[in-house]
A and B are shown apart, each in its own frame.
Chain A
Amino acid sequence: MNAPMNAAPVATKKLKVATTSLAGCFGCHMSFLDIDERILKLLELVEFDRSPITDIKHCGPCDLGLIEGGLCNAENVHVLREFRSHCKILVAVGACAINGGLPAQRNHLDLRDILEEVYQTEAGVSHGHIPNDPELPLPLNKVHPIHEVVKVDYFLPGCPPPADAIWKLLTDLLAGRTPTLGHGLMHYD
C-alpha cells in the first residue's frame, strides 16, 4: 500500500522469483501450492531462485521476493536483508510478515521469563537448560513485522492469504499492474 510500482512489466524473459519463510509456519507457502495446476502456467512465466521449492540457499538478483513470517531471531533479519538487496519487488505475504502475527503474541512477555518457563520450569526434553548452541540464531527481544526493518513494496494479508489472492497478486505483477484484492480475497484471518 502507498507504494509506487517500481518495476516495468517484463513479458519476454522469465521473471526470477525467490520465496522464504521467516518466523512463519509455512502455511503461506502451503497456500501458495494451493494454486494447484496453475503452478504449471506460473512456471512458464517465472523461474524460482532461493525458495523451499528449489532448496537454493542464497538468492541472486531477483525480480520478485515473497516473504512469509515476521522477524523473531537474528537469522530472520539477515535473510530479510538478503532478500531486500536482491529483489526488485518485495512482498510481505501473510499476517506474520505484516504485523508479527501469532509469534508476536509473546511480545508483552519478557524473553528470559519465556525461555525459563519453557526450558527450565516445564518438564520436557531439554534437561533443564536453555539451549545455547552457537549454531542457533539468537532470538530477538520482540517479534517484529518486516516493514519495521526494510522497505516493503506490497502487502498480501491473510492467515494464510487464500491461493486465489496469491494468484491475483502474481498475475497482477506479471502483467505490470498494481496488485489489488477485491472483497472476498482481502482477509486478515
Chain B
Amino acid sequence: MSATFQLDGEDIPFTPGQTIMQAAKAAGVYIPHLCWHPDFPAHGSCKLCTVKLIDAHGGRFGSSCTMEAQAGMSIENRTAELDDKRRTLLQMFFVEGNHFCPSCEKSGNCVLQATAYELKMMSPHFDMFYPDRPVDASHPDVLLDFNRCIMCSLCVTASRDVDRKNVFAMGGRGILGRKIHINSESGRLADTDFAVTDRAANICPVGVILTKRKGFAVPIGERRYDKAPISEQVKEPTA
C-alpha cells in the first residue's frame, strides 16, 4: 500500500520524490499547467499549476510542479478560487503576446488555447500589448513565430539537455524585453545546427516552433483539443 495525499478530496498515491503534478498525472487527474512537461525537470515559471496546501494555519499557495508530495497532505486544485487566479494568469499571457488563433498553425493543438478553454477564458480582460516580435523564417525547415512565445523555456531545456546543441537561450528583462534568443552570431536560426528532427523542434506547447510546409494539416473538428478538453486527456502522451 503506497502513501497517499488528498487532491480535491480524492486519494492520490505517490512514490517518494514525486511532485504533486507527477503523482496527479499518473493518477489521471488534471492540474492546469503550461511550462511543465513530463519528460523534463520542472521550470516552475508559469504558475498555472498553483495549488493550495491546506494546513493548520489555513492554506498556502505553491506550484504543484515543484512541490514534493507527502503523505497526508490535503491539496486544493480545481476550486473557484484557484481557477479564477489561473484565468487571470492566462489573460496576462494572452495580452502580452500576439495570439491570433484563427491564423495560427497550432490552433486546436495548442496547450495555451486548450487551457484557456478549460478555464473558460472568454476575453483577454486587460488592455492588449501588441508587442513587436519579429518572425524568424530563415531556417529551411522550421519557422519561429515569437509572437506566441510564453517563455516556458522547454525549447531551451530540450535543445541543451537532449539535443546537446544549446540553440535557444532566454534573456533580457521586463515583460517586453525578456525573450528567447537564438545562439548564433547573426541571431538567426538558419545559422545554427538546429534540425527539424531535434527534440526542441517538437516541444513547443504553443505555435512558435513550427515545421514548415505542414501547417493546418488536420481539419477543424479533428484536432487534438477539438475532440476532448485538455482535462480529459491527462493519460494521453504529451507531444
Contacts and interface: CB of A to CB of B under 8 A. Distances in A.
B162 interface: no
A1 interface: yes
A105 to B, nearest CB: 6
Given A95-B101, A99-B99, A142-B130, 8 more contacts: A102-B100, A104-B130, A147-B125, A148-B127, A183-B117, A186-B117, A188-B117, A189-B102
A121 interface: no
Interface residues of A, number: 32
Instruction: Classify the interface of chain B: helix, strand, loop or mixed.
Output: loop
Interface stretch (A8-16, A52-60, A78-86, A149-157): A149-157
Interface stretch (B9-17, B56-64, B103-111): B103-111
B228 interface: yes
Contacts, number: 80
* Across the A-B interface, the 7 shortest Cβ-Cβ residue pairs: A1-B122, A159-B102, A188-B101, A108-B132, A107-B130, A155-B122, A155-B123
Nearest to A1: B122
Contacts of B125: 1-2, 147
Contacts of B94: 99
Interface of A: 1-2, 92, 95, 98-102, 104-105, 107-108, 142, 144-145, 147-148, 152, 154-157, 159, 180-181, 183-184, 186-189
A126 to B, nearest CB: 27
B123 A92 contact: yes
